[in-house]
Structures are given as structure tokens and as C-alpha cells.
Amino acid sequence: MSEVLDYFFDAYFHQDWRDDYGSSFEAAEDFAKTEPAEAKTHLTSALSGLLEREKLPQDTLNGLGGNFKPESENMEVREWVIKVIEILSTS
């Protein structure tokens, strides 16, 4: 779908990502702080594109290469994506 989504989920939400971060939002904050501004812009755009989908089932992020379901943090996928976009916009 998108190289930046592949990279984000492969690098920050790999099988053992919880060993590195206390929450998914800490992983997103790390991306926002360590990756180039252009990557943040591309990721924000790609995540915004996800919001255009009518349905975002819990396994949406797994399908993008991430080992994470927002329900594990009591969130819907759409709600989680919006929060990550906010993190990218403010970091």
C-alpha cells in the first residue's frame, strides 16, 4: 500500500515492540522524534488515507505489517489512527 506504512509498522510495531515501548503511542512518538520530517509528512498522509476507508477492522494494522491491534489499548482503529496523526502533527 505505502512504503512509509510498511516501514512504520515493520520498524516500530514488530513482534517484540512492547519490549521497547510501554504503549503504541510511545512508539509513534519515537517515530515522530527520530525520523525525518518528510517521513512524518508521508506517514500522516498515508494514515489519513486509511481514514477514508469505510471500515477499519481491528486487524487492519496487522495487514500493514504491524503486530498490534488497537483493541489491546481499548481503542477502535479509526480512533487510534487519529491519535497517531495528532502525535505526528505536534512532535
Asked whether the predicted pLDDT for residue 76 surpasses 70, the reply is yes
Residue 4 binned pLDDT confidence (cut-offs 50, 70, 90):
very high
Residue 91 binned pLDDT confidence (cut-offs 50, 70, 90):
confident
Residue ranges per domain, the chain? 3-90
Question: Mean pLDDT over all residues of the chain?
Answer: 94
Query: Contact, 43 vs 28, CB < 8 A?
Result: no
What's the predicted TM-score (pTM) here? 0.92
Tens of pLDDT, residue by residue over 28-68, are 999 999 999 999 999 999 999 999 998 999 989 988 889 99
